[in-house]
Structure 1
Amino acid sequence: MTGETTVREAVRIHGRDAGRRAVGALLERLRGHSGRLVVTGEPGLGRTTLLHWAARSFDAGPVVGLENGPDGLTAVGHDGRRTTVPGAAVAPERLLATLRAAAGAVDAPLLVWVDDAHQWDAPARALLGRAAQDPHTGGRVGLLLSVAGHRAVDPELAHLPVVRLDPLTPQQADALLDDVTDGAADPAVRERLLAEAEGNPALLLALTRRLSPAELRGHRPLPRPLADAGTLADVVGRAVLCAPSPEERDLLLTVAAAVRASDTPDVDAGLVLAAVRHPRTAAPPPCPAPPPEYLALAEGRLRFLSPLLGRAVHATAAPDRRRAAHRALAHVLEAGGHRLPGLLHRSWSLPAGASAPTLADRLAAHAADSTATVSYRQRALAYTRAAELTAHGPARAERYTAAAEQALLAGRPDRARPLLAAARDCGGPAAVRGRAELVRGLTELRDGPVGDAHHSLLLAATLLAADAADQAASAALAAADAAWSAGDLTACLTALGTEQCRPDGTEPPGAGDPDRADQPGTAEPPDEPATPCPADGPAAVRDPGPASRPLGPDPVRDHRLGMRALLEGRLDRAAVPLGQVVDRAGSDDRPEGLLRSAAAALLLGDVDAARRAGARALAAARHVGSHALVPQALEYLAYAELRAGRHAQARAHAEEGLRTALRAGQRNTAAHHHAVLALAGSIEEQPAAVARHVTAALSIARRHGLAQAATLAEWAVARADLGRGRPFDAADRLGLLVLPGPRRGHFAVWRLAVPCFVEAAVLAGRHDEARALMTDFAGWAAFGADPHAAAQLARCHALLAPPDRADDLYRRALDRHDEADGDFERARTALLYGKWLRRRRRPREARDRLGTALAGFERCGAGVWAEQTRGELRALGAASPGAGAGALTRLTPQQLRIARHVAEGATNREVALALAVSTRTVDYHLRKVFATLGVRSRVELARMVEQVEKTGARV
């Protein structure tokens, strides 16, 4: 740490919501019961911070910290006062009672916290474990322990409940860095710090404090290595790095060295043991059973229980021992035919700062070998090491750029960014700089402001135009994707028109003809697409770099021409080129090409083709190990399922897509998955889940300019309101999305929400606003990209029609629904038709339509809409047996008691007196009852309870 650093302490705890909830539940439990909890995690993840937070937060009684030292146990009060625990008290049945007495607690609960309980000796741990097993002997006592996650859990504590701390997400680490630096870090420095810390908050703070203000702001070069031996040792704990024997130290170092070139956190135990033996002539030592406490052995593979500890073991080893370990691993791997990892270890066996051009050339050549079965991460490592061993500036820049491309494919944008910064510092020709800008733009497209991505990708297209026209075309199409995500129609059209020649350098047909509308700049972009586009852009064309080559004559150009024609409303010119892109899915086995086919199918409204191409893209991405493309394939699958009305399948794909996107550092992709999950949840009985996913999607969308994801998320909230019988709220929210004006939603998405707005607006009495959108929506339905739009159009006309026409329009809408798959939309039309029939006093017909709607909603899992339908059936006196009982089973026992009293005619005050609770409590629970059952009045509630009693259903 420099003497002039300006880094301050963090103002708040970042990324520990789950841990604080678990600890908070323990603290709340202490108000009536005893409890215990173990907090674990690798060094630096904040175990001690969480314990101190608990000690500060607990206000129901005294807090005592317990230490085990050479003189026995010591109780430390939160005020710092220390009390020696008498020796007679060190028995489980007396320890906690003695601590209560020492803390002066009589009736109040006591919180006892123990930091680093794993450092206690075995007898003391056994005492603590037995005391925790039966804490009731000392009254209301809470035991909160922390143990290290870089070693196996001690058997004395293994029976206790555990909360594990995980590394911070990229967003959480970013927020922590802003907190301690007031946002003063240079962007390139920020990327290096976040990449080196790998989500460990203590390491991030230690690295930041090591920098001077000039280094933090990018005015001076960063120290190398950034995470040096001293910093890692301080975070891990120097005592942890002292292995008990030279043999174990050799084993730990060799495992740590082997992991550096591995694609997984574990390594083959046979490889490690062979390297430990080399160059010895004796038989290899047997793998220790059990292995050293910091290692785990499973199915013949060794791994560190803490990856950070492995890094520290490697960094703190003496340089000659470290080089010897890599030399031994290189010998064993090369003898076994594993050329690339062997070369990596050979390069790491060289002295620091050595230049080895021949070895660098070999590393780069093997990394570029497409026939080798090598992961993207290993290729990125090889290119990086080749760049470090290369003295020539342009060659270094090219290799750093290639490393960044592979890191991006590996799903590590945090690693790609520092590599791009290193490439920029080396200079290089335009083609190399163009490739670097392409990677930078794609990285920002997945995890950054899409406006920045758009400009980087346009710059890449310009730089690549002369020497790599195919990559320039991919960059331009990706720039259009960025503009699409931002909702900037003009920028999207401009980007789609930037490629004027084919990859072979020839002009496309009609080039130079001002009458041809596929020439850039020959047509004024419309304010809105004359023929609107579906709720997904050309995101499949996030070409990762030179490893991806177009299949066939020119699929990128076909996609570009088809996209532009669609945005300009010329379906006749869009169908052929986009259809050719879709057709290529049958002969393509690369995830990039298959994603492009899925995108084109969505644009054409061919949902089945989009699902097939998306599924094949997902399989292909998994096969080649592209962690960057898996979340995007799942995004396309989720959108296709959503467009087809298969909400459950969309939710399944989006849930997996969200997990993979977060692991790959793709927050923008994660925002889209959150939006899909919110839309899927809006038809179910999951208001909390909808709110959670909407909040997450909007948080990212607003920060990164994702207009498309924001529109989908806001639509999800409105649809949930509509399903729960809140048309006024839904109309207000949807009006901002669909009505003309600067706040209108994304140009390719808002039309999808029009049917919801028309329904909500009619129920809210805003007929004129609904009618104003019908002409535009009729054009959308005629376009044919949405299989449900024609039926939805007829339904909207029925909602707005006079009574003498509405009946035929509802029937026409149901007939059109029969032409498309999807139970949900058909059930919505049947529900509205049933409501209309009931209000026209046609109960028998209404019962038939509502029964069909209920069956459809139940079939597709649309719980909130099913409850609305049951309410309509109850109004007809035709609720199906058991329907009310099924709803009542979702009430808590207290809510059920209140519901029965209210159904018998009791007032809220009478219910409060009968149950010995406050009137406010009855009001609160009754609101919950109404929301859960979907009833609007005490009369409806009474009918439901009466129906249950008549049918004899068990509740």
Structure 2
Amino acid sequence: MTGQTTVGSPCRIYGRTTETAAVEALSDQLRSRRGGTLLLAAEPGRGRSALLALAAHAFTLGPVLRPRPLPGNPRPYGGIHALLCAAAEGRGAAPPRSGFGRGLSAADLPELLRQYAPGGEPLLVCVDDVHLWDAPSRAVLGSAARHPDPDRPIGLLLTMTEHRADDPDFTGLPLVRLGPLDDSAATALLHDLAGAVVDTSVRSELLSEAEGNPAVLAALAQRLTPDELGGHRPLPRPLVDGAALWATFGSRLAPLPASTRQLLLLAAAAHEPDPESAGADASLILRAAPEAGLDPAALDPAETARLVHHDGHRVTFGSSLLRRTAYTGVPSSQRRAAHALLATVIDADRYRLRHLLHLALAAQGPDTPLAADLVAAAAPGTPTSGMERSAALSRAAELTAHEDARTARLTAAAEYARLAGHPRRARRLLAATRDGTSPDTVHGRTELVRGSLALGDGPVGDAYQALLMAAERLGPFDAEAALEARMEAMDAAWAAGDADACLSALAETPLPAPPDDPAAAEAPPAPAPYAPARHGTHMRSDPQAPPPAPPHDPRRDYRTGLRTALDGHLTEAAPPLRRVVDRALHDDDPTRLLRAGVAALVLGDIPAACRANARALAVSRARGLAALTPRILEHLAYAELRAGRHAGARTHAQEGLRAAHRAGQRNVAAGQHAILALVASVEDDAAAVAAHAGAAVEIARPHGLLQTVTLAEWASARADLCRGRPFEAAARLGPLTRPGPGRGHFAVRMLALPCFVEAAVLSGATTEARAAVEEFALWAAQGVDPQAPAQLARCRALVAPPDDTADALYALALTRHDTAHGDFERARTQLLYGKWLRRRRRPAEAKNRLRDALVAFERCGAPAWAEQTRAELRATGDASAPVPAGGLTRLTPQQLRIARSVAEGATNREVALTLSVSPRTVDHHLRNVFALLGVRSRTELSRLVHHAERGGTQP
């Protein structure tokens, strides 16, 4: 992508792969002696001028004409005159006479250019902001673009603002729209602009504020000091002031009539209470306009200029940056007057919160009664959005003089923003609190919100400590909130793979009597309610008097059952966990349903886990719980993965990944990437496995997400096994599955152990595989994994001595598979059994097992595993097994397997271990492969195999 650069620095392009490719394609046309045109359209500040400048600088095939910008209201043919002046200036010739052009046609333009820019070499014409040219000049230029000069290749590279991209003079010509910068390109631009170390949280804030606009990002970098960029000092508010926005977007607003700009200010002010909504209430704006002496028709010029869109119900700005410019580009007195006017025309009885919020935005200083009214109107149960509640409480905090009450209201505003899926806003609000001077009840709430935010995006160790601190501070005052904090601390410890920390978080702690806190005694009553429920389902009205827990309270059952299970007493853990699962059949609380899904997984009831998470997703979608939905989708996708429903797991993980990015929850996104990597390892999309596993680990390692790391490494190892690379698979899984420090996640490592046993046996580490099987046997005996009994029998068959013991064990494994769902695992057992039977020279029996495995793999959507099975079938002499296309068809199945393994970099010894043959046999086959394919080295063989399997032709 592209962006602005610091003054005096050379022009540099940031990303913009598609756009630069289109410019290079235009140069290629000119190099081939063919003319062409390319239009670049973008909203102000997105870097179209920078891309034009770079293209002009890089063009070496001939002269480049870059006319100077035209003044406002240019005379007819002023654009063509400026173009020819640039051509004449380049030659040192006299410019054309002023006022020329009457009657000029498109056919005349090439002749004029030949006159002022002679020579037969290609010519590149670069016109910035061509939409500002006069109409006759645009018509001539557009017509010339459609009728290229046959005697000389001329390229037209034109830029225009986004809202003029459909100019009729240029309709049908190649058009590329420059979108906002993506995060990676914006980060690179910010790094170059800042010239200093930018703190991670500050960078995230700046990227969010700039919304992918390079000019706005440049203004931010120039405004902030090194200490602010480094996170050593608080950031100024607002981050982007009206002057910076007006410098970028003012050219869109300045030409409008004054009445239109006033009406746009009303629209922007009406949108301010809920800036994330779809737009401002059109009826409110149209009622306010006459009160301000404005004709509602004054909005028409803004619609014509595509600054806003009015659909009869909502008035929506073309972009949020335009809206912010219309709002902040005027003095604060005008903004306050707009809010005061809107407050007068709102039905205060029907829309009390909106009415009060506009009154508050019109206020100039502290106003305790108004702040209290805002807090009361933002209470749960009122028909309004979470973001509007957040705005109301944050504005109430600004109107509050008492520091403790202010902190409490900012904390509540932050929690509503978090629940609405806006963690950056939540962090900004928390940054404005002063926790050190607040009483424990307020400080505890603040730490609870801070810990919840870190759990979604940040090091989970930090989240754990913040949540435990919240529980300690809230315990004497609000046992319910303290328990919730401990539950979330347990979630953080679980993600980190720290079983001891999980037990600490779940430990029963006595609730001491409230301490004698002078600060709390002196503080005014906290605004009740001043903090929303953890997941938006309810809100306590009196934090000092929690209701008594009912018998078998689901949270206490969950806490007791999980703690007992982590202690290793699964029999005692089953009753409370089963009660949690059973309640989920008719529950409609998404948090309880989410925990019911966890309880079901601990019990080994995978279908119940899928049902509970699916119900939680339905409830979450119906209530619009943006902060909780990504996490529910992660749990549902994981449960479906455990159930062998790979297509469903992929669908929900993809949706969850998008939802996590929208909600700013990178930790959840990492988990979704790991699940997608596991799905891809079944489907054998090697590129997808690598991409998703890499994306998961990139976030998970610095954030301490051991569960995600273990899942990602398991996916990569399974992909290695599928591709015939057992040494690599064993190397990946060995550290994660061995006992002792540094191993994988306690709840995942046993799930990956059968994969490690297979890889270890195939790579010759049979002793290590046997030790792993014995550990897995202890796990399988606990009955918490439906697949474990069948997998245990398969693992015992793999490490069995070379006699008929393995036969009975494989048969036992298949019998046990019949009692558990999971076509993929059953197919893997059948494949391994078929291989064993073939090597025992029992081809007829092997064919039956392998055919069953082939059908199952195809049904599961596992093509590479199916290809492995076909190769084994061909090795048994099954003529019905398809033969791969291409020059490799000259090889026997055994030779093809050896060729593929060598192409992957395996040594003869490694291939021999994988195929259960001797190294001498591999050497013999490899010599024949070289002779058949006409290659002389492993490098040539690797190149040929890779080319063939990507669909290329054989040399």
- SS state of the match for residue 335, structure 2? helix
1:188-207 superposed matches below 5 A = 193=206, 196-207=209-220
1:601-616 superposed matches below 5 A = 601-616=600-615
Per-residue CA deviation, residues 319-353 of structure 1 (Å, 9 max, x unaligned), is: 44433332333233326822222222222223xx4
Distance of aligned partners of 1:767 and 1:224 in 2 relative to their CA distance in 1, 3 Å threshold: closer
Deviates more, 1:180-189 or 1:606-615: 180-189
2:183/2:207 contact within 8 Å kept: yes
Partner of 1:3: none
Corresponding letter in the other structure for 1:744: R
Partner of 2:283: 270
Distance of aligned partners of 1:801 and 1:282 in 2 relative to their CA distance in 1, 3 Å threshold: closer
Match for residue 374 of structure 2 among 338, 345, 363: 363
2:386/2:416 contact within 8 Å kept: yes
- Normalising by structure 1, we get a TM-score of 0.81
Corresponding letter in the other structure for 2:494: W
Measure how far apart 1:401 and its partner are. Answer: 0.4
Counterpart CA distance in 2 for 1:83 and 1:693 is 58
Deviates more, 1:69-78 or 1:161-170: 69-78
Partner of 2:340: 327
Measure how far apart 1:44 and its partner are. Answer: 3.5
1:224-303 superposed matches below 5 A = 224-236=237-249, 238-262=250-274, 263-278=276-291, 291-298=304-311, 300-303=313-316
Measure how far apart 1:384 and its partner are. Answer: 0.7
For the pair 1:434 / 2:444, whether they are aligned, the reply is yes
Partner of 2:859: 859
Partner of 2:784: 785
Counterpart CA distance in 2 for 1:740 and 1:135 is 74
Per-residue CA deviation, residues 115-174 of structure 1 (Å, 9 max, x unaligned), is: 444444444445555555677968887765544346664344554555555555667766
Per-residue CA deviation, residues 77-121 of structure 1 (Å, 9 max, x unaligned), is: 99x9799998999976786899899999978x8776554444444
For the pair 1:571 / 2:581, whether they are aligned, the reply is no
Per-residue CA deviation, residues 365-400 of structure 1 (Å, 9 max, x unaligned), is: 1112x2212111111111111111111111111100
Measure how far apart 1:581 and its partner are. Answer: 2.1
Identical-pair percentage: 52
RMSD over aligned CA atoms reads: 4.4
Partner of 2:387: 377
Counterpart CA distance in 2 for 1:430 and 1:7 is 50
Measure how far apart 1:410 and its partner are. Answer: 0.8
Partner of 1:951: none
Corresponding letter in the other structure for 1:323: R
Distance of aligned partners of 1:290 and 1:381 in 2 relative to their CA distance in 1, 3 Å threshold: closer
Counterpart CA distance in 2 for 1:271 and 1:574 is 58
Partner of 1:516: none
2:537/2:589 contact within 8 Å kept: no
Partner of 1:530: none
Per-residue CA deviation, residues 281-301 of structure 1 (Å, 9 max, x unaligned), is: 989889779544211234643
Counterpart CA distance in 1 for 2:170 and 2:581 is 58
Measure how far apart 1:598 and its partner are. Answer: 1.8
Counterpart CA distance in 2 for 1:776 and 1:28 is 64
Per-residue CA deviation, residues 518-537 of structure 1 (Å, 9 max, x unaligned), is: xxxxxxxxxxxxxxxxxxxx
Corresponding letter in the other structure for 2:378: A
Partner of 2:915: none
Distance of aligned partners of 1:281 and 1:754 in 2 relative to their CA distance in 1, 3 Å threshold: closer
For the pair 1:753 / 2:752, whether they are aligned, the reply is yes
Corresponding letter in the other structure for 1:468: D
For the pair 1:701 / 2:719, whether they are aligned, the reply is no
Measure how far apart 1:555 and its partner are. Answer: 2.8
Per-residue CA deviation, residues 14-61 of structure 1 (Å, 9 max, x unaligned), is: 675666677677778887788765554443344444555666677888
Measure how far apart 1:239 and its partner are. Answer: 1.8
Distance of aligned partners of 1:643 and 1:222 in 2 relative to their CA distance in 1, 3 Å threshold: closer
Per-residue CA deviation, residues 535-562 of structure 1 (Å, 9 max, x unaligned), is: xxxxxx9767984899955333322222
- SS state of the match for residue 683, structure 1? helix
Partner of 1:479: 489
Counterpart CA distance in 1 for 2:823 and 2:212 is 44
Per-residue CA deviation, residues 658-679 of structure 1 (Å, 9 max, x unaligned), is: 1111111111111111111111
For the pair 1:720 / 2:733, whether they are aligned, the reply is no
Partner of 2:912: none
Match for residue 431 of structure 2 among 421, 429, 451: 421
For the pair 1:928 / 2:942, whether they are aligned, the reply is no
Per-residue CA deviation, residues 588-614 of structure 1 (Å, 9 max, x unaligned), is: 322222222222222222221111121
Counterpart CA distance in 2 for 1:789 and 1:740 is 18
Partner of 2:829: 829
Per-residue CA deviation, residues 217-236 of structure 1 (Å, 9 max, x unaligned), is: 66766544332211211232
Measure how far apart 1:74 and its partner are. Answer: 3.7
Counterpart CA distance in 1 for 2:795 and 2:182 is 44
2:603/2:784 contact within 8 Å kept: yes
Counterpart CA distance in 2 for 1:76 and 1:758 is 78
Deviates more, 1:832-841 or 1:923-932: 923-932
Partner of 1:521: none
Corresponding letter in the other structure for 2:568: G
Deviates more, 1:86-95 or 1:419-428: 86-95
Distance of aligned partners of 1:174 and 1:560 in 2 relative to their CA distance in 1, 3 Å threshold: farther
Corresponding letter in the other structure for 2:45: G
For the pair 1:664 / 2:677, whether they are aligned, the reply is no
1:936-947 superposed matches below 5 A = none
Counterpart CA distance in 1 for 2:104 and 2:811 is 81
- SS state of the match for residue 302, structure 1? strand
Counterpart CA distance in 1 for 2:658 and 2:713 is 22
Distance of aligned partners of 1:801 and 1:254 in 2 relative to their CA distance in 1, 3 Å threshold: same
- SS state of the match for residue 315, structure 2? strand
1:614-633 superposed matches below 5 A = 614-633=613-632
Deviates more, 1:416-425 or 1:184-193: 184-193
Measure how far apart 1:786 and its partner are. Answer: 2.3
Distance of aligned partners of 1:276 and 1:642 in 2 relative to their CA distance in 1, 3 Å threshold: same
Measure how far apart 1:652 and its partner are. Answer: 0.4
Distance of aligned partners of 1:860 and 1:52 in 2 relative to their CA distance in 1, 3 Å threshold: farther
Counterpart CA distance in 2 for 1:460 and 1:851 is 58
Distance of aligned partners of 1:42 and 1:817 in 2 relative to their CA distance in 1, 3 Å threshold: farther
1:151/1:294 contact within 8 Å kept: no
Partner of 2:509: 500
1:74-85 superposed matches below 5 A = 74=83
Partner of 2:636: 637
Per-residue CA deviation, residues 826-870 of structure 1 (Å, 9 max, x unaligned), is: 111111112222222222222221111111111111111112122
Counterpart CA distance in 2 for 1:10 and 1:417 is 36
Counterpart CA distance in 2 for 1:247 and 1:641 is 58
Counterpart CA distance in 2 for 1:597 and 1:245 is 60
Question: Where do 5+ consecutive residues of structure 2 fail to align?
Answer: 1-5, 71-77, 515-532, 541-545, 890-899, 901-926
For the pair 1:846 / 2:846, whether they are aligned, the reply is yes
Partner of 1:732: 731
Measure how far apart 1:177 and its partner are. Answer: 4.9
2:490/2:501 contact within 8 Å kept: yes
- SS state of the match for residue 423, structure 1? coil
- Normalising by structure 2, we get a TM-score of 0.81
Deviates more, 1:481-490 or 1:565-574: 481-490
Counterpart CA distance in 1 for 2:456 and 2:760 is 36
Counterpart CA distance in 1 for 2:390 and 2:329 is 25
Measure how far apart 1:805 and its partner are. Answer: 1.1
Counterpart CA distance in 1 for 2:85 and 2:612 is 63
Measure how far apart 1:617 and its partner are. Answer: 1.4
Counterpart CA distance in 2 for 1:261 and 1:406 is 14
1:908/1:922 contact within 8 Å kept: no
- SS state of the match for residue 682, structure 1? helix
Q: Which has the larger radius of gyration?
A: 2
